[in-house]
């Protein structure tokens, strides 16, 4: 069975509504390994070697997080520095070469309405523009980029809307999995 590694970077998942609902929905998928990164690293010190091994075992990767102040949570940036710098720069010929080709999907929640993310909106930038640093990182590391799954009004959703968002996430994950067959990974 192929493995989809879903890394959740939420500073307080226990207080989340949208990201917790997405997490619970993702857990229903066969072959999905869902990891609460804040619970794993409460002090923020990332084990780059362990995380590199996890990425190399995955057939595809999902990074799930709330957009905060037009960016990712701090722990995701710390993870990028500890893990992707290690894999794609320091050990590029061994780890980076083996990671290349692993598909990446972003699942992000945002607090405002979709129309707020555009030139005439309150946030002035599109979600594509806000996610551009992650796309650039994916391209630099050789990770095929897939369209992100976005949930807007994340902290204002009614229970029925949360259910729709969770169903949409499961559908997006199933499409991602179906469209990204398992890679023939080299032995580490």
Q: Is residue 156 part of a domain?
A: yes
Range of the structural domain that residue 60 is part of = 4-179
Q: How confident is the model at residue 2 (pLDDT cuts 50, 70, 90)?
A: confident
Average pLDDT over residues 165-170: 98
The CA–CA distances, whole Å, from 143 to 73, 135, 165 equal 21, 9, 26
| pLDDT of the residue at 183 | 63
Q: What is the average pLDDT score of the chain?
A: 94
Q: Give how many domains the chain has, as a whole number.
A: 1
Q: Is residue 89 part of a domain?
A: yes
Q: Is residue 112 part of a domain?
A: yes
| pLDDT of the residue at 108 | 98
Report the alpha-carbon distance of residue 17 to residue 21 in Å, rounded.
6
Q: Is residue 75 part of a domain?
A: yes
Strand stretches in the chain, DSSP E: 4-8, 32-36, 60-66, 104-109, 145-151
| pLDDT of the residue at 184 | 55
Vertex 81, ends 79 and 86: CA angle to 5°? Answer: 100
Question: Which two three-digit tokens encode residue 65?
Answer: 């997080």
Q: Is residue 51 part of a domain?
A: yes
Report the alpha-carbon distance of residue 14 to residue 188 in Å, rounded.
35
Q: Is residue 79 part of a domain?
A: yes
Share of the chain above pLDDT 90, in %: 93
Phi first, then psi: give them for residue 48, nearest 5 degrees. -60, -40
Q: Is residue 187 part of a domain?
A: no
Average pLDDT over residues 122-144: 96
Residue 187 has pLDDT above 70, yes or no: no
Can you give the pTM of this predicted structure?
A: 0.94
Residue 172 has pLDDT above 60, yes or no: yes
Average pLDDT over residues 168-175: 97
Residue 139 has pLDDT above 90, yes or no: yes
CATH, residue 112:
3.40.50.360
Residue 11 has pLDDT above 70, yes or no: yes
Q: pLDDT tens digit string along 69-116?
A: 999 999 999 999 999 999 999 999 999 999 999 999 999 999 999 999
């Amino acid at each position: 069975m192929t493995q989809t590694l879903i890394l959740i970077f939420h500073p307080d998942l226990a207080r989340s509504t949208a990201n917790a609902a997405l997490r619970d929905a993702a857990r229903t998928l066969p072959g999905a390994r869902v990891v609460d990164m804040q619970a794993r690293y409460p002090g923020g010190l990332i084990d780059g070697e362990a995380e590199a091994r996890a990425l190399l075992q995955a057939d595809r990767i999902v990074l799930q997080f709330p957009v905060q102040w037009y960016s990712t949570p701090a722990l995701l940036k710390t993870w990028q520095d500890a893990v992707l710098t290690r894999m794609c720069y320091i050990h590029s010929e061994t780890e980076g070469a083996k990671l290349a080709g692993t598909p990446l999907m972003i699942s992000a929640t945002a607090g405002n309405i979709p129309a707020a993310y555009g030139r005439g909106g309150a946030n002035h930038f599109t979600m594509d523009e806000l996610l551009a640093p992650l796309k650039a990182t994916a391209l630099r590391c050789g990770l095929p980029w897939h369209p992100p799954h976005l949930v807007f009004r994340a902290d204002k959703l009614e229970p029925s809307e949360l259910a729709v968002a969770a169903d949409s996430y499961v559908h997006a994950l199933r499409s991602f999995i179906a469209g990204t067959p398992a890679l023939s990974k080299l032995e580490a």
